[in-house]
Structure 1
Amino acid sequence: MTQRSRPVDVPRDPITGPNEPAYAATDSAYGVARHAARQRLLNAYLRESGRNPSETGDGLARVPLSGERAIVVPLRHRSEFGHHVYGDDAWLERPGAAREPLTHREVVALLLDEVATFAANTWGEAGDHGALARQIDGSIAATARYLAESAADDHAGVATDPTRQAEQSVRFGHPFHPTPKSIDGFGDDLPRYAPELGARFRLRWLAVRADVLLERRVAAGAWVPPAVVRRTPSGYESLPMHPWQAEYLVRQPRMAELLADGILIMLGELGGIGYPTSSVRTVCDPAFPTSWKLPLHVRITNFVRTNPVEHLRRAADASDLIARLAPSWRHERFGVLLETGYRGVDPAVVGDDLAADIAVLFREYPFTDGRYTPRVVAGLLEARGDGAPAIVDEVRRSGGSQSEWLRRYLRVVLLPLLDVFERDGVSFEAHVQNSLLHTDGGWPVRFWVRDMEGTSVSADRCSSVADTSPLCYSDAEAWLRLRYHAITNHLGHLIGVLGRHGHGERPLWMTAREVLLDEGGALANELVTSPMLPAKANLISRFANRGERPLYVDVPNPMCR
């Protein structure tokens, strides 16, 4: 084999050295997980660098690197919007030298080297190469575990509840994220709490003395099940806690003081059995009309998922505004799951950090009567080992063409999102994990968007929100956020999946163009005629540790060409 003139730097694993990390999952599960991670890295790198794979002339494709080098890979499917699919093999190509086979770890190292250079030269951002490589390994290990370990103890329960099944089947995650399943904190308790492993559990409940309570209610709805209310002492109010979070908090000295002083009381495990949704920390009891967005001192993908006061206020302000605006909206099949309020402990008493580790957002769950079976779109788009993603099954079940199915989807989902922004300036964070779809006979008939903490409002278009609210954005930024979440993330992913399992993406993008031009307003026309769309630069942002302040890049708009 040709010797390398410049060895590829391979980050050493602290346990297994430069070899692939040891893992308890089956080899096939680990191989599938590693392949999925490499595909996400390659596609994120191409999108964020503005480069495209080029043909080699021998049935392969080049992913260009600096210095006239390239990673050469089999290209199984070329996507209109960057959702390319690759084979397992990879080679390094350099001028005047034979191609050299690359291991998975060498591919990762090469791409991260490129990202480091690109981030420094283009964005002025530095990052930790080794830390990101370790997090990529961790994400792969988690995915492999999810693939290898079926939820055997509760498989029947998952299978008979389509809503839960979709929430708990997102095993690969975001298609343009380097660490979509990175999770750090659960340790050996991961199987007890991972939605991907069919987790279900009772919540712990905490009673908070009324004089230290932080609370705001913006919409009607029960927050606490009757069984918990009966156990709550007089002069206290209850709030739910994730079981892992409860165990974490009782080990904190300040929490121990508050419990000893009777300011807080642990009520224990109460209420019905719920399950974690795809976000891991939001928990749903299908028999109760409220779900709970819980703090969880665990790093999931980009950052630790707690509930700081500013996040609580954003969600409550958004829900309060939407509750006032929604009655005038003209979209009967479009809905919003409001955060009806929040409850926690006053930060002035316990400090900002502990307050963020306790506070809870309460969210509408209007599906207890069984009239609708909403499924999270992220779950419908996930690849499955036994066939095409579930969304493809829905199209086939409808008996219509992909284009006609997409037309109906756009009328239920995208046209209302654009109209609400154009009329009232409300920009929803409608990415696929925040989007719920109900189908009838395979056809899309109802849609809901959730997680109001991600909502932004154009100060230019909306006069019903205070200038001091954390919801307020410039019109340009609110419009950018809507285009990214609803088009680049949501519609791009949907069309990528349907196109791969049908007759290609181009007819579907043209269908979207036609619907927007024929049935949309001024913003729909602007959307179609703009040559570029915004895309979150997840790889560079993750490298630069900018999870909460992500960078964006422009990508070509398939509807414009």
Structure 2
Amino acid sequence: MNDARLHAERAARQRLLNCYLRESGRSMTATGDGLARVRLTAPGTALVVELRHRSVFGHHAYGDETWLERPGEPRLSLANREFMTLVLAEVEVVAAHAFPGIDGGARRSAELIAHINGSIGATARYLRHDRLAHHGDAQSLTRTAEQSLVYGHPFHPTPKSIEGFGDELPRYAPELGASFRLHYFAVHPDAVLQRRVAPGPWLPPDVVDAVRGRPGIDGYELLPVHPWQANYLLRQPRVTDLVREGTLVALGELGEPVYPTSSVRTVCDPSFPTSWKLPLHVRITNFVRNNPVEHLRRAADAGALVAQLAPRWRHRGFAVLAETGFRGVDPARVGQDLAADFAVVYRENPFADGRYAPRVVASLLEERVGGAPDLIAEVRRSAGAGGVTPEHVGQWLRRYLRISLLPLLDVFGSDGVSFEAHVQNSLLHTEDGWPARFWVRDMEGTSVSRDRLRNCELAPDSPLLYDDEEAWRRLRYHAVSNHLGHLVAVLGRFTDADEARLWRVARECLLHAGGERAEALINSPVLPAKANLVSRFARRGEQPLYVDVPNPLFEVSR
């Protein structure tokens, strides 16, 4: 077996076991010989693993060997599939408690193992591909980060599962350095559904120039489409009818090449001040990634809200990449499903001038084969000749919190806006290795507390509106459990700064900042965490289960 496959399988086992430990509440007991035991449901049985690193917040790292321990029998070495089968048998027990009445455990396990193996295969392929080299300029650095997320979510069982591209994966996968030109459709004005909530260009000038004077499309609106999606749509009988009747005109590929970002379906032309969140009829992790009307409305409502509120925010180094609107084909003409496969969301891309070099935080936190995550190189650069001492790492973390978590908490406390600031939605620009600017993106995941929102225009039935506790839960999960927990785990593992010490630094920073939400956060014994494994096993990804996990910000005060 090649090294790439071994690394991919190890990463998959790590994610599967860490998900199980978090979602079941089971503990892991170190045995003192570099191993650890996880007690299983059957009396006297245990899973034994090589423990390479133990994390305060569950980001444990393991070696390649795993064993099953039974009473009175020698330990049984487990192959990768045997390991997965064993863990998923335990997951079935947890799922039965969480979702009473579910059945078909063996079928569910087999299905999930197939998806895990698909994710492993994709990861191995990405690892065999030479990482895209950046050329020192800001835009190249940003692209390299977006296209280097080869392992994915640390608490998801199938983070790189992708179904639909088939043999065309190399043409479209960001992890393989893909770039391509967009296909365009011209849409008859009577069939357009669109909403603009903020200024900004939607069409590159060269695209407009390329179709100027083309007969038969006067007054039509241009709609960018992913090239894979265009081929998919043009095979649909209803689209064929729309083209024949003149409602749609297929214009082919136009404009400069774009590259897919870490989400696969959002694409960027680095020289253009707008990026495009495109629909893709491809299953990525759990879902087919299209843009239904409710998602469009959420994104547009959030973009409009940010346009109203952002001018009064005073958080140096913090900003939001807002959606400026959407355009698609009216579902009243083509139906909801087909409309979701056409609709495009437009997002600010303020980095076209090359002034900043933001990198997606998820990529900065990923361990590289044979080396530390890229984030650690930034910490070392900031330390200079003084070296990376625990004190220096603490200072680096304080600077990071000042431009990320503290503004996120303040915005929620003052205006009730809860951004989906997980690590793949967060961008960081450093200066001399120090955190300097932070952006949060993807407004479709925004939620707003109806109890806190004041003096803003938002329809009472907006899908953004949530009860205060639910909006607060979403913020704590994305910004703390997902984001801060991962960041602190990486800093604690790859420097001499102890992870618990860094949680104390974070607590002190929040105490110093003050505010109602900061105090509520550090005084809560638990944090919410999404149970991706159990939810995926139960096929409840659209409405995932959440579990409570111990809050290190509270624990370190005891």
For residue 206 of structure 2, the aligned residue among 215, 227, 239 is 227
* Residue 483 (structure 1) aligns with: 476
Q: For residue 277 of structure 2, what is the aligned residue in structure 1?
A: 293
Describe the SS at the equivalent of 1:89: strand
1:493 alignment counterpart:
486
Are residues 1:415 and 2:406 paired? yes
User: How many Å separate the matches in 1 of 2:251 and 2:168?
Assistant: 22
Structure 1 contact 158–164 (Cα < 8 Å) conserved:
no
The letter for the 1-side match of 2:61 is V
TM-score normalised per structure 2: 0.94
Separation in structure 1 between the aligned mates of residue 206 and residue 377 of structure 2, nearest angstrom: 40
Check the 8 A contact 2:34/2:52 in 1, yes or no. no
SS in 2 for 1:559: helix
Q: How far is 1:519 from its partner?
A: 0.9
Structural RMSD (CA): 1.4
Matches of 1:332 and 1:256, distance apart in 2: 51
Aligned with residue 195 of structure 1, among 162, 174, 179: 174
Cα distance, 1:518 vs. partner? Answer: 0.8
**Structure 2 Cα separation of the partners of residues 382 and 476 of structure 1:** 32
Taking the TM superposition and a 5 Å limit, the aligned residue runs for 1:92-491 are 92-124=68-100, 125-126=102-103, 128-150=108-130, 155=133, 161-230=140-209, 231=211, 233-399=217-383, 401-463=392-454, 464=456, 465-491=458-484
Confirm whether residue 548 of structure 1 aligns to residue 506 of structure 2.
Answer: no
2:134–2:144: 8 Å Cα contact kept in structure 1? no
Identity of aligned residues (%): 65
Match of 1:28 in 2: 3
Write the deviation string for residues 180-219 of structure 1: whole angstroms up to 9, x where unpaired. Answer: 0000000000000000000011111111011110000000
> What displacement does 1:520 show?
3.1
CA distance in 1, matches of 2:230, 2:530: 34
Deviation above 3 Å: which 4+ runs of structure 1? 154-160
Q: Distance in 2 between the 1:28 and 1:158 partners?
A: 29
Q: Which residue of 1 aligns with 2:55?
A: 79
Q: Say if 2:193 and 2:327, in contact at 8 Å, map to a contact too.
A: yes
Give the letter aligned to residue 321 of structure 2.
Answer: L
The reply to whether residue 65 of structure 1 matches residue 45 of structure 2 is no
Partners of 1:448 and 1:56 lie apart in 2 by 43
Unmatched runs of 5 consecutive residues or more in structure 1: 1-25
Please give the alpha-carbon distance, in whole angstroms, between the structure 2 residues aligned to 1:334 and 1:417: 9
1:245-264 CA distances to partner (integer Å, 9 max, x unpaired)?
A: 00111000000100111100
- Counterpart Cα distance in 2 of 1:276 and 1:123: 37
Instruction: List per-residue Cα deviations over 1:304-356 (Å, max 9, x = no partner).
Output: 00000000000000110111011111113110011100000000100101000
Question: Secondary structure at 1:379's aligned position in 2?
Answer: helix
Post-superposition CA distance 1:260-299 (Å, at most 9, x none): 1110011111111110000000000001000000000000
Structure 1 length-normalised TM? 0.93
Shift of 1:122: 3.3
**CA offsets, 1:115-161, max 9 Å, x none?**
1121012332456111111000000000000001226xx64669981
CA deviation map 1:501-537 (0-9, x unaligned): 1132011100000000111311101101111000000
> Counterparts of 2:120 and 2:537 in 1: how far apart (Å)?
17
Q: Secondary structure at the match of 1:396?
A: helix
1:386 positional shift: 4.3
| 1:56 pairs with 2:56 | no
Give, in whole Å, the separation in 1 of the partners of 2:538 and 2:369: 34
Q: Where do 5+ consecutive residues of structure 2 fail to align?
A: none
Contact 1:155 1:198 in 2 (8 A): no
Counterpart CA distance in 1 for 2:424 and 2:376 is 18
- In 2, distance between residues paired with 1:205 and 1:386? 43
Q: Retained in 1: the 8 A contact 2:99–2:538?
A: no
SS of alignment partner, residue 18 of structure 2: helix
